[in-house]
């Protein structure tokens, strides 16, 4: 992913509300499964890491991206943005 594409995705994500929250239990298999299912209908997902989660949001983002075969767009504070290109429901056209 180029820096131009990453910047474009960041601008799209700025208007999104987090659809998942990661709390004290951190990254559970259920959370991973739910994120994988969400990628069936959307390409860009924002996740909030709650204050009671002791794990580093950047580490969570990396592991979650590996498990869901997606890409980390950015991690800012306690918010994670992931992108996975959809083959069936392609809505986001990345700049070249």
What domains, with CATH codes, occur in the chain? Answer: 3-83 (3.30.110.60)
Total-model pTM? 0.90
Which pLDDT score, from 0 to 100, does residue 96 have? 75
Which pLDDT score, from 0 to 100, does residue 95 have? 78
Tens of pLDDT along the chain (96 residues)? 888 999 999 999 999 999 999 999 888 899 999 999 998 888 999 999 999 999 999 999 999 999 999 999 999 999 999 999 887 777 888 877
Least Cα distance to 25 among 58, 60, 70, 66 occurs for 60
CB 60 within 8 A of CB 50: no
Which pLDDT score, from 0 to 100, does residue 34 have? 93
């Amino acid at each position: 992913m180029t820096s131009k594409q990453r910047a474009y995705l960041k601008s799209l994500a700025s208007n999104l509300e987090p659809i998942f929250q990661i709390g004290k239990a951190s990254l559970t298999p259920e959370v991973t499964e739910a994120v994988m299912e969400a990628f069936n209908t959307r390409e860009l997902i924002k996740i909030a890491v709650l204050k009671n989660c002791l794990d580093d949001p950047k580490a969570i983002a990396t592991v979650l991206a590996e498990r869901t075969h997606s890409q980390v767009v950015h991690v800012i504070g306690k918010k994670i943005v992931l992108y996975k290109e959809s083959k069936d429901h392609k809505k986001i056209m990345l700049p070249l």
